[in-house]
Structure 1
Amino acid sequence: MLPPRFPINAAQIDHVVALFYASVRRHEVLGPIFAAHVTDWPAHEAKIAGFWKKAILHEAGYDGNPMQVHMATGDVRGDHFAIWLALFDQTLDRALPGDTARGWSALAHRIGRGLRMGVEDLSRSTSAPPRLS
């Protein structure tokens, strides 16, 4: 089995996910978007914690396609990812030691760039060049 990408355990991941989504629900931009799509918060948080456990701890269990889900919503825009990542970084900084927060943040930003590009590609004119940064 592969070691974790950085020092963290499953309970810490669960804690960060819970804190983050508590902030999301109160957020003036992200809150309404998530509220339109998430009807069972505990199930959503468990699924997303499973995603992070797979990405960070290499645990089996998560089976999903985040790109497909975000592209299918119809109301997620590319600029939402900067807001999401800023809120996520604030949560990481509050909840975790510095090195762990920075490691998870780097991974989240890499994943967020890919998701943002997919969402933007969906809404971009076919004649427009792709946005690569």
Structure 2
Amino acid sequence: MSIPPRFPITRDQIADVVATFYSRVRKDTDLGPIFAAHVDNWPQHETKIMGFWCNALLHERSYNGNPMQAHMDAGNVKPAHFAIWLPLFDSVLTEKLPHDTAQSWSALAHRIGQGLKFGLETYTAKPGDVPNLAG
């Protein structure tokens, strides 16, 4: 028995969003250098992220990485970068997808982003730092 998608979306739509997003990331003055420091093979990276989103949206078993660990290990990903990443991602979703689909995917992306941001804040916190619970 297969689990239905979280909301109506196809693999082709996911692929289009991922490709468009990373095309824009490469041009972004803040995010571009961060990714360039870690991504040598863009098609391979996009395939990996495509697997992540197909797993999250279509319930496929196409991703087995650890996004939190990857972001922590990068060393140059900061909590503040999510304030750049998420609006850029939202702009691609809005451009490429029907309104309800874009809104549903955006809500999930924001939940994931908040979790990653919180994890990075916790990982980089110094003893005595007050946690940022405002999100």
TM-score (norm 1): 0.97
CA displacement at 1:130 relative to structure 2: 1.9
The residue correspondences of 1:82-121 to structure 2 (distance < 5 A) are 82-121=83-122
CA displacement at 1:46 relative to structure 2: 0.4
Q: Which residue is equivalent to 2:124?
A: 123
Report how many residues are paired: 133
CA displacement at 1:126 relative to structure 2: 2.1
CA displacement at 1:107 relative to structure 2: 0.2
SS of the aligned residue for 1:28 comes to coil
Unaligned runs of at least 5 residues, structure 2: none
CA displacement at 1:127 relative to structure 2: 1.4
Counterparts of 1:95 and 1:23 in 2: how far apart (Å)? 13
CA displacement at 1:85 relative to structure 2: 0.3
The residue correspondences of 1:1-133 to structure 2 (distance < 5 A) are 1-132=2-133, 133=135
Counterparts of 1:59 and 1:123 in 2: how far apart (Å)? 32
Runs of 4 or more consecutive aligned structure 1 residues displaced over 6 Å after TM superposition: none
1:67-124 per-residue CA deviation (whole Å, 9 max, x = no partner) reads: 0000111111000011000100000001000000000000000000000011111211
The aligned amino acid for 1:103 is S
Unaligned runs of at least 5 residues, structure 1: none
- Higher mean alpha-carbon deviation, 123-132 vs 49-58, is at 123-132
1:12-61 per-residue CA deviation (whole Å, 9 max, x = no partner) reads: 10110000000000000000000000000000000001000000000012
User: Cα RMSD over matched residues?
Assistant: 0.7
